[in-house]
Amino acid sequence: MHTALQTNFLGIDLASPLVLPAGIMGLSYSGLAVAARKGAGMVTTKSFTLQPRTGHKGPVVAEWSGGILNSMGLCNPGIEEGLKEVHAFREGATTPVIISIFGTSREEFVKLARRTNRSDGNFLELNLSCPNVADEFGTPLSASQEKVSSIIYHVKKISRLPVIAKLSPNVYHIREIVSAAEAAGADAISLINTLGPGMLIDRKMGKPILHNRFGGVSGPCIKPIALKLIYETYSAVSLPIIGMGGVLTGEDAIEMIMAGATLIGIGTGIYYRGIDIFNLVNEEILRLLSDEGYDGIARIQRLEKLRE
């Protein structure tokens, strides 16, 4: 990979700033491996829970003109099996891995985090923002500053891995939430998780398309919301940000970096451009940098002119 794409994230060198985010292809070592081979600089697992979960009944994904709606229901093999997949991936690849975990309480997050201390992961991401399990577990934890703060504080006390907080866009007070995450000891922020949830209707059937009725909203329609929340987060804290939400092209990725992101997640984009999207966006970033006279992405990070 080209040196102009090299990025350092919390002391680890990455060949590209592009990241496979949680929930997309991260259920198995082969999914992680193909994303790494196709140009992702870092990969994230599906969120693992203490016990395996089968997830929601289908249909779990629906497309419309603005993006995609999904309600997977946190299907995953559970932390024990999940960490075996991470081990298998790391046997054949040097690409760093973020292990994502989902708990329903502080105690569950701490238990999961303890388990990841004996794993091949490089970073630990706390999924505080799944939009799809409100009926089982209530409002996403990241809507509450107190819950964000307490979970991060207690996980940080025991975690060997640097901790990334994955946050929801569904809040009016992102500055307070990210500041609470920083004060509690988070090492980085990842945002945005899917928006909503939302709903799509099948007119012929006269009912919601998704079996679960509601699902998290992703894709091009959420990009402006992602940019605004990344920008506000960057202004409020001094933590590195993994920015994501509707990135399909090199232009989108550069806008994320200009808003304040250090790394850029591409998830739903895979649905639009295939898994080659990582290599394509890497090439597009390089072309844009060269056209605009920058010798590396470090040069466009945190452009002061955007802060005025």
Residues with active-site annotation: 130
Nearest distance in Å: CB 23, ligand DHB: 5
Of the two residues 122 and 142, which places its CB atom closer to ligand DHB in the complex?
142
Q: How far apart are the first and last CA of the chain?
A: 34
Q: Which of 32, 35, 74, 275 binds ligand DHB (CB under 6 A)?
A: 74
Minimal distance, residue 154 CB to ligand DHB, in Å: 22
Q: Which of 7, 28, 44, 70 binds ligand DHB (CB under 6 A)?
A: 70
Kindly state the number of chain residues that form the binding site for ligand DHB, as judged by CB under 6 A: 12
Nearer to ligand DHB, 222 or 236 (CB): 222
Q: To the nearest whole angstrom, how small is the minimum distance from the Cβ of residue 197 to ligand DHB?
A: 8
269 makes contact with ligand DHB (CB under 6 A): no
With contacts defined by CB under 6 A, name the span among 12-20, 126-134, 231-239, 241-249 that binds ligand DHB: 126-134
Q: Quick one: residue 195, left, alpha or beta (phi over 0 = left, psi -120 to 50 = alpha)?
A: beta
Q: Does 142 help bind ligand DHB (rule: CB under 6 A)?
A: no
Q: Contacts for 141-144 with beta carbons within 8 Å, 24 or more apart?
A: 142/166, 142/167, 142/168, 142/171, 142/177, 142/193, 143/168, 143/170, 143/171
* Contact pick of 95, 170, 193, 262 for ligand DHB (by CB under 6 A): 193
Q: Which residue is nearest to ligand DHB (CB)?
A: 216
Q: Which stretch binds ligand DHB (CB under 6 A): 66-74, 90-98, 156-164, 273-281?
A: 66-74
Facing residues of 9 across strands?
12
Beta bridge partners of 62: 69
Contact status: 130 vs ligand DHB (CB under 6 A): yes
Cα–Cα distance for residue pair 10/12, rounded to 1 Å: 6
Distance CA 192, CA 142 (A): 11
Tell me if 190 contacts ligand DHB by CB under 6 A. no
Report the residue from 100, 132, 268, 282 that binds ligand DHB according to the rule CB under 6 A: 132
- 136, 71 Cβ separation under 8 angstroms: no
Site string for ligand DHB, 21-40 (x = CB under 6 A): --x-----------------
Binding of ligand DHB by 45 (CB under 6 A): no
Contact partners, residue 144, CB within 8 Å, separation at least 6: none
| Angstrom distance (rounded) from CA 262 to CA 248 | 17
CB of 138 to ligand DHB, least distance (A): 15
> How many secondary structure helices (H) and strands (E) does the chain include?
10, 16
Residue ranges of alpha helices (H) inside the chain are 29-37, 79-92, 106-116, 134-137, 145-158, 174-183, 223-236, 250-259, 269-273, 277-291
Contact residues: ligand DHB, CB under 6 A: 23, 70-74, 130-132, 193-194, 216
